[in-house]
Amino acid sequence: MLGLNKTDSKFLLIVILLTLFTPFLMQPFAADSGLDQFNGGYPDLMQKVAIFGIFAVGFNILFGLTGYLSFGHAAFLGMGSYAAVWMFKLLTMNVIPAILLSMIVSGLLAVIIGYISLRRSGIYFSILTLAFAQMCYKMAYSVLTPITNGETGLQLSLSDPRILDGATESTSLPVTNIFGLAMNSSYKLEALNRVFTFNVGFYFCAIIASIAFYIAIRLFRSPFGMMLRAVKSNQQRMNYMGLNTKPYTLAAFVISGMYAGLAGGLLAAMDPLAGADRMLWTASGEVVIMTILGGAGTLMGPVLGAGVIKYLENIFSKINESVLHSWFHWLPDGLEEVVVWVFARFTGEGWHLTLGLTFMLVVTFLPGGLVEGIKRLKKLTKRGQKPKDKLDAPDPEHTPPPSKHVV
Amino acid sequence: MGILEVKGVGKRFGGLQALGDVNLSVQVNTVHAIIGPNGAGKSTLLNCLVGKLIPDTGSVTFDGKSVLGRKPHEINQMGISRVFQTPEIFGDLTVMENVLIPCFAKRDGAFRMHAYESIEQEPDIVNKAEQMLIDVNMIEKRHMTGSSLSRGDKRRLEMAMCLAQDPRLLLLDEPTAGMARADTNNTIDLLKQIKEERDITMAIIEHDMHVVFSLADRITVLAQGTPLVEDTPDNIKGHPKVKEAYLGETQEV
């Protein structure tokens, strides 16, 4: 299907189905079950998972394939957001031109940053990209204030020209839309004591994310992807094979920069406002953590990592002390205080602590990320199903791993 | 006029004169061995040929064109491939992919995206890569990753990768170093076979006299950065100067 082999087609199909049914899947708990704060099926979170999924998939094209760890990808995310908001201000509230422009602008920025940063590799490359991103961040606050609107952030206003939309007499700000269908409109379905929300914005992001994911699979399986993995493996051999590695790494850098720009544009399309905060180094660090948590170099890993982190961020930060008190009210008074105090460190404001612990555990025990964890679980269940003769059992050290990419 | 002409090449590392006035002429379709004791400057010479080092003096021309000042990938595109002393392969990739990369790189090495096609859509390239693996007798290992191979297999793989480029000059840096006798003999057979089947010129750096004398058409003896003698293997065997500098006076070859 679509130029993919059987396994990849099946894989893509599963991913598409999962995205389409996200509103159901993220709403597993009934409203009165007491666990409904763990439900993540509201538009804001679902959109973020899809958008940051795109961001991480793009980042993985650079980091997972070539091994170049960029610490400045947030610059492209922020740049994409600014470009998209400017499109909303000047041209139209339709999101299509906005995200196209954000991809082009971040792509151009990636050419410049990449051309200079890729002269070095390893830690020097990481520091260079970090420096560039921080420069963009500082410039957004200082010299570029006419474009970025400084600390307030770039916002829509009623006096914006919006050439294609024409003048309206409305006194409220227009909303982003796709050919008239507003991004923030939702259809709610009440069933099984749950409220399922089908949001236009989410489905728009989901479709874009599926396309982005499909392109990523093609890239991974193409000769170009093979070359990028070769760059990660042995640059010297590439050179002595008559291959200049620079065009390959630069192409990967620009592609992943465009993915980041697309994600930034979508963020602005969901909520038309752009601030310099999106370019801060913590945002760059977040995508690194997403990719490594999920499994760098794998297809599904970054998406999984983005989902887990955005879920933790939104759900754990909502659990405050009063919620904890309602959970532990059955404990004796003194003990309840202690337990609530301990749990409060890990929830609400302290959700980063939970994230940090999760990250630490995953990196220590599952170097390949969550994807490796899933693979191990699969192996365990398979082993449980049909116990084999000891001699039949595959010896991992002497069995060649099946090739995923050729023949 | 040889395919590779080295004239008056000198290279100094600080106070050490690694190479001083090396002249070498490798003729087309011959196997030229460069031997010499440790520290004679064999590897330095090879590094000067592939662009890893730039000599202080002298000139290196391949097929009439100077290689000095060109980058390693540009020199490779002129038709020089190198097999390293410690095998340089793509450890994370499968054996098949290792050979596919030079097949995709082709001779001109130009950057091509190839981003929207799958590898299976290039049957010519896949067939060529498979043929290369059959040639070096590694086809049954094509799904293994490079780093899981034994040292001998790694070297054979590297040889296949270099041959996949159809080079005009193949440089071999101690192709049998650290190998058991049986593996060494296999490598000799492989190199002989390559020599017979292809129009290829080879320059070999080697310690093992057995290898040198079974393969080489010409031998250059290097000692302390300068060529001592250049002659046919038969003449080298009995040459008193060589015995003295390299083989030791009492040792019989």
CATH of the domain at A28: 1.10.3470
Rounded to whole angstroms, the Cα distance separating A271 from A201 reads 10
Nearest CA in chain B to A215: B116
Per the CB < 8 A criterion, the answer to whether A80 and A103 are in contact is yes
Looking at the complex, does the CB of residue B72 fall below 8 Å from at least one CB of chain A?
yes
* B71 to A244: CB separation less than 8 angstroms, yes or no: yes
A117 and A241 within one domain: yes
Nearest CA in chain B to A66: B92
pLDDT of residue A158: 82
What is the share, in percent, of chain B residues with pLDDT greater than 90? 9
* A227 to B104: CB separation less than 8 angstroms, yes or no: yes
More confident residue, B247 or A212: A212
Rounded to whole angstroms, the Cα distance separating A298 from A368 reads 9
Shortest CA gap B190–chain A (Å): 21
A84 and A47 within one domain: yes
Shortest CA gap B48–chain A (Å): 13
A123 and A183 within one domain: yes
* B119 to A242: CB separation less than 8 angstroms, yes or no: no
In the listed set A300, A332, A358, which residue is the last one of a domain according to the structure? A300
Rounded to whole angstroms, the Cα distance separating A25 from A22 reads 5
Rounded to whole angstroms, the Cα distance separating A287 from A309 reads 10
Q: Which residues of chain B does A240 touch, with a Cβ-Cβ cutoff of 8 Å?
A: 50, 72-73, 76, 81-82, 84, 88
Q: Which residues of chain A does B128 touch, with a Cβ-Cβ cutoff of 8 Å?
A: none
Mean pLDDT computed over B39-49 = 86
A184 and A41 within one domain: yes
Task: Give the mutation candidate from A233, A254, A298 for the B interface (greatest B CB count, under 10 A).
Answer: A233
pLDDT of residue A125: 95
Per the CB < 8 A criterion, the answer to whether A324 and A347 are in contact is yes
Q: Which residues of chain B does A242 touch, with a Cβ-Cβ cutoff of 8 Å?
A: 73-74, 76-77, 102, 105, 107, 109, 165
Give the Å distances, CA to CA, from A385 to A21, A310, A381, A402: 30, 35, 6, 21
A324 and A275 within one domain: no
Q: Which residues of chain B does A243 touch, with a Cβ-Cβ cutoff of 8 Å?
A: 73, 101, 105, 109
- Cross-chain CB nearest to A244 (options B82, B93, B111): B111
Task: Give the mutation candidate from B92, B149, B162 for the A interface (greatest A CB count, under 10 A).
Answer: B92
pLDDT of residue A389: 45
Q: Which residues of chain A does B104 touch, with a Cβ-Cβ cutoff of 8 Å?
A: 223, 226-227
- Cross-chain CB nearest to B118 (options A221, A230, A234): A221
The 10s digit of each residue's pLDDT in A5-28 is: 888 888 899 889 988 888 888 887
A340 and A293 within one domain: no
Q: Which residues of chain A does B77 touch, with a Cβ-Cβ cutoff of 8 Å?
A: 242
More confident residue, A317 or A310: A310
Rounded to whole angstroms, the Cα distance separating A359 from A292 reads 9
Q: Is the pLDDT of residue A263 over 50?
A: yes
- Give me the numbers of helices (H) and strands (E) for chain B, helices first please: 9, 10
Give the Å distances, CA to CA, from A123 to A71, A117, A230, B20, B187: 10, 11, 19, 38, 40
Closest CA to A68 of A265, A240, A213, A257: A257
* A242 to B73: CB separation less than 8 angstroms, yes or no: yes
Closest CA to A54 of A279, A303, A225: A303
For residue B10, list its beta bridge partners: B57
Shortest CA gap B110–chain A (Å): 7
Instruction: Name the domain count of chain A.
Output: 2
A320: left (phi over 0), alpha (psi -120 to 50) or beta: beta
Range with lowest mean pLDDT among A375-379, B54-58, B237-241: B237-241
* A237 to B115: CB separation less than 8 angstroms, yes or no: no
A375 and A286 within one domain: no
The residue count for chain B: 253
Q: Is the pLDDT of residue A206 over 90?
A: yes
* A223 to B126: CB separation less than 8 angstroms, yes or no: no
Query: Which three-class secondary structure state does DSSP give residue A374?
Result: helix
Query: Which three-class secondary structure state does DSSP give residue A289?
Result: helix
Closest CA to A72 of A298, A265, A288, A248: A288
Beta strand pairing status for B4-13 and A177-178? unpaired
Beta strand pairing status for B16-26 and B169-173? unpaired
Cβ–Cβ pairs < 8 A, chains A and B: 134
In the listed set A250, A267, A300, which residue is the last one of a domain according to the structure? A300
Residue environment code for A27-50, b if the CB has 16+ CB neighbours within 10 A, otherwise e: beeeeeeeebebbbbbbbbbbbbb
Range with lowest mean pLDDT among A129-138, A319-328, B7-16: A319-328
Mean pLDDT computed over A317-322 = 81
The encoded tokens of residue A269 equal 């399309």
Mean pLDDT computed over A271-280 = 88
B29: left (phi over 0), alpha (psi -120 to 50) or beta: left
* A222 to B115: CB separation less than 8 angstroms, yes or no: yes
Tell whether A174 is covered by a domain: yes
Closest CA to A82 of A165, A158, A149: A149
Give the Å distances, CA to CA, from B181 to A348, A382, B185, B211: 68, 44, 6, 11
- B4: DSSP letter: E
pLDDT of residue A69: 94
Domain assignment of residue A45, given as a range: 6-300
Per the CB < 8 A criterion, the answer to whether A218 and A16 are in contact is no
Task: Give the mutation candidate from A7, A240, A245 for the B interface (greatest B CB count, under 10 A).
Answer: A240
* A226 to B101: CB separation less than 8 angstroms, yes or no: yes
Per the CB < 8 A criterion, the answer to whether B101 and B128 are in contact is no
- The runs of H, that is alpha helices, within A21-122 are 22-25, 43-66, 74-90, 95-117
The encoded tokens of residue A2 equal 């679509």
A175 and A92 within one domain: yes
Mean pLDDT computed over A216-237 = 91
Per the CB < 8 A criterion, the answer to whether A207 and A47 are in contact is no
* A218 to B92: CB separation less than 8 angstroms, yes or no: no
Helix axes A43-66, A245-270, angle to 10 degrees: 170
Tell whether A169 is covered by a domain: yes
Q: Is the pLDDT of residue A114 over 60?
A: yes
What is the share, in percent, of chain A residues with pLDDT greater than 70? 92
ipTM of the complex: 0.86
Say which residue the tokens 């038309």 belong to: A272
Looking at the complex, does the CB of residue B166 fall below 8 Å from at least one CB of chain A?
no
Cα A296 to the chain's mean position, in Å? Answer: 13
Say which residue the tokens 């004398």 belong to: B213
pLDDT of residue A167: 63
Q: Which residues of chain A does B119 touch, with a Cβ-Cβ cutoff of 8 Å?
A: 221-223, 226, 405-406
A324 and A180 within one domain: no
A326 and A296 within one domain: no
- Cross-chain CB nearest to A243 (options B73, B92, B120): B73
Per the CB < 8 A criterion, the answer to whether B92 and B56 are in contact is no
The 10s digit of each residue's pLDDT in A333-358 is: 888 888 888 888 888 888 888 888 98
Q: Which residues of chain B does A218 touch, with a Cβ-Cβ cutoff of 8 Å?
A: 115-116, 118
pLDDT of residue A405: 53
Q: Which residues of A touch B (CB under 8 A)?
A: 3-5, 218-219, 221-227, 229-230, 232-234, 236-244, 247-248, 251, 400-403, 405-407
pLDDT of residue A388: 47
Hey, how many other C-beta atoms are within 10 angstroms of the C-beta on B244?
12
pLDDT of residue A406: 44
Mean pLDDT computed over A116-130 = 93
The 10s digit of each residue's pLDDT in B97-148 is: 999 988 887 656 667 777 777 777 788 888 988 988 988 888 889 899 999 9
A207 and A164 within one domain: yes
Q: Rounded mean pLDDT of chain B?
A: 84
Looking at the complex, does the CB of residue B85 fall below 8 Å from at least one CB of chain A?
no
Q: Is the pLDDT of residue B253 over 70?
A: no
Q: Is the pLDDT of residue A407 over 50?
A: no
- Cross-chain CB nearest to A406 (options B119, B145, B165): B119
* A403 to B81: CB separation less than 8 angstroms, yes or no: no
R_g of chain B, CA atoms, integer Å: 19
Tell whether A144 is covered by a domain: yes
Range with lowest mean pLDDT among A279-283, A357-361, B106-110: B106-110
For residue A155, list its beta bridge partners: A273
Looking at the complex, does the CB of residue B104 fall below 8 Å from at least one CB of chain A?
yes
* A229 to B92: CB separation less than 8 angstroms, yes or no: yes
Whether CATH 3.40.630.30 fits B4-247: no
Q: Is the pLDDT of residue A399 over 60?
A: no
Closest CA to B85 of B164, B186, B178: B178
Mean pLDDT computed over B60-82 = 88
Tell whether A393 is covered by a domain: no
